[in-house]
Structure 1
């Protein structure tokens, strides 16, 4: 019964990823149909992300009142209806109307399922949960590409994804009683990460300090800001870059972007196993270096096929960074403030997703989408430098503590 519910949760996370990559790959065709400016996609994306932030902030009270099962059911129903609205939308104004329930539904599902899995399942399931988000994000562009490769019927792509969402709505409705049953009968312990019990650096130092005053927190927030800025910018503007700069057909560009999401998906699946042998810090650093190398491939004036390699490398590089940075929070800043700092990190992450892609779109509309690879290189570099600066600071702190301990012992 517990395993069956876990399968349902994984399916829900696939459905959560399906819409996330649709707008970016369909926009080159949608833009011409509506006669809209390039930056309109950025504002649509920002509206979706804004709804996600609002519903995430409110999800705690909503989940306590109605339970994860009901919230997930209603949220997926909202996203399915919103995607169906994209199919019928006669103008850009109606697209903006549909982005509201799309964002609100996505945020509630994300927060609710993450909390439920963290509470009722072992820790390694969390990495694979985000891997299944990548499965949805990968297949979204593939499905859309099948429709726009013919006669540019992007609306049918949205209709197909909406149908998948409505099928999940039916499954969630039929399994509503299962959520409470599993919750009552579950004997699975809370998250038992061993990392949390390792040298918790700041517990003693941060007892009477506010979370934002803990040294290193702001550097961590910068890393989250630029991580989500890179991830969402590549997903939203990658297809437009390939169409307008590399001069690829829209369907081919959509397929190439799907390889980017496939890189994230496959990378996170593999990361779930690697974490047993390799530390989070090494995984974060390695991922950032790979992502930077992929971004440089997009920037250099190389043959077009190298762009595909660049997208795949960026996806593979980004794969371990987000879950590993989240997982390091208690070890970096202590258990006492880890939940509060985790909330700050998620808020800043959503801020990066909300504002950075529209900003790039606005700049590109007044210059050229050719700035896309330059921005990705700069963002990955900023993430890498802030992360390394934080690691260096924490390493020095550990050494100072060891020296103090040794001096006291003598």
Structure 2
């Protein structure tokens, strides 16, 4: 029964990823159809992400009152209806209206399912859960590319994705009783995997202060900010960069962006296995270095095929970072404050998704979309810098703790 419910949760995360990549790959055609400026996509994306932030901040109280199953069902229904609204939208104003429930529904599902899996299933499922988000984010551009290339119709792409979402809504409706049954019967502890003996351990003094006063929390929040800034910016503006700078057809650009999401998907599937052997800290660092190398390929004036390699490398690099940073939170800052700090981190993550892609769109509208790779390089570098600064800070705290312990022993 627990395995069957886990399959349902994975399907829900596929549906969560499906619409995330649609706007970016469809925008070169949508922009022409609606006759609006390039930066309008950034404003739409900001509207969706804004709704996600609001529902994420409110998700704690909502989940406690109604339960994860009910919230997931209603939120999936909202996203399915919003995607159907995109299909029928007669003007860009209607896109903005439909973007509100799309964001509100996605945020509640994301927060609820992450918390549910972290509480009721073993920790390596976190990487696989986000791997299935990548499955949805990969399939979305592929479906959209078929309609763009065959019928030059982005709206039919949204119709098909909406149909898939409604199918999930039906499945969720008939499996609602399983959620409460699983919650009552689960005895699995959080983070069951063995701890890395060389890993960073939080300072015990953190138990006695408020969450935001714990050293390193703000650096962790900045890391989440830039991570989601990179991930969302790649997805939203990657296709426009390939079409306008590398002069690729819109359908081919959409397929290349889907390979970026494939990199995230495959990387997270592999990460689920290697977390047993390699620490979260090492995986985060390796992912950031790979992402930086891929972003550099986009920045250099090489033939278009190198851009494809760059997109895949950035996707593979980003793969382990988000789930590993989430899983590392209790170890870094203690279990007492981990739930609160997790909320702060998610809020900053969605802030990165909300403001960084539109910021690039605004700058590009005043200059050129050719600044896209430069911004990606800067965002990845900032994420790497904040992450490594956090590692060094926690390492110093641990060394100081050991030194004090040794002094007390003598």
TM-score (norm 2): 0.96
Q: Which residue is equivalent to 1:250? A: 250
Of 74-83 and 306-315, deviating more is 74-83
Q: Which residue is equivalent to 1:101? A: 101
CA RMSD in angstroms comes to: 1.6
Indicate conservation of the 8 Å contact 1:257/1:311, yes or no: yes
2: distance between equivalents of 1:326 and 1:189? Answer: 16
2: distance between equivalents of 1:46 and 1:142? Answer: 24
Indicate conservation of the 8 Å contact 1:196/1:331, yes or no: no
2: distance between equivalents of 1:291 and 1:300? Answer: 15
2: distance between equivalents of 1:199 and 1:249? Answer: 47
User: Per-residue displacement from partner, 1:105-140 (whole Å, max 9, x unpaired)?
Assistant: 111111111122222222221211111000000000
Report the secondary structure of 1:206's partner residue. helix
Q: Which residue is equivalent to 2:152? A: 152
Q: Which residue is equivalent to 1:55? A: 55
Indicate conservation of the 8 Å contact 2:207/2:334, yes or no: no
User: Per-residue displacement from partner, 1:15-55 (whole Å, max 9, x unpaired)?
Assistant: 00000000000000000000010000001000001111111
2: distance between equivalents of 1:176 and 1:53? Answer: 25
User: Per-residue displacement from partner, 1:33-80 (whole Å, max 9, x unpaired)?
Assistant: 000100000010000011111111111222222222221111111111
Q: Does the alignment pair 1:173 with 2:202?
A: no
Runs of 4+ in 1 over 6 A off after TM superposition: 196-200
Q: Which residue is equivalent to 1:339? A: 339
Indicate conservation of the 8 Å contact 2:202/2:394, yes or no: no
Paired residues in the alignment total 410
Q: Which residue is equivalent to 1:279? A: 279
1: distance between equivalents of 2:73 and 2:341? Answer: 29
The 3 A distance-change label for structure 1 pair 335 and 70 is closer
Indicate conservation of the 8 Å contact 2:200/2:394, yes or no: no
Of 234-243 and 203-212, deviating more is 203-212
Indicate conservation of the 8 Å contact 1:41/1:358, yes or no: yes
User: Per-residue displacement from partner, 1:171-203 (whole Å, max 9, x unpaired)?
Assistant: 111222222233333444444244499877444
Of 325-334 and 6-15, deviating more is 325-334
TM-score (norm 1): 0.96
Runs (5+) with no aligned partner, structure 1: none
Q: Does the alignment pair 1:75 with 2:75?
A: yes
Of 221-230 and 338-347, deviating more is 338-347
Q: Which residue is equivalent to 1:220? A: 220
Indicate conservation of the 8 Å contact 1:76/1:105, yes or no: yes
Q: Which residue is equivalent to 1:362? A: 362
Q: Which residue is equivalent to 1:2? A: 2
Q: Does the alignment pair 1:375 with 2:366?
A: no
Q: Which residue is equivalent to 1:350? A: 350
Q: Which residue is equivalent to 1:232? A: 232
The 3 A distance-change label for structure 1 pair 375 and 357 is same
Report the secondary structure of 1:205's partner residue. helix
